[in-house]
Amino acid sequence: MSRAMFEYTKTVLNKVSFDPSLFCKEVQKAILRLLPYEIEELKLFIQRLVHVNPDLKQCMVYLN
């Protein structure tokens, strides 16, 4: 079940990556839902998204 939540979170983040404020809200929700090792994977996933869309860099604050 947990892995399904991680995949769902990645899907949602991809879909909202056009809006940095919405993206940040979804990142905050994801941190509350995911397990610690999944949050580490999420960091890597978001770093790849930030590389493509630098406007999302402000959301990295929530992952520290």
Domain extent for 14: 2-63
For 12-62, what is each residue's pLDDT tens digit?
Answer: 999 999 999 999 999 999 999 999 999 999 999 999 999 999 999 999 999
Q: What is the pLDDT of residue 24?
A: 96
**Helix/strand/coil for 34:** coil
pTM listed for this prediction: 0.90
Q: What is the pLDDT of residue 1?
A: 61
Total domains in the fold of the chain: 1
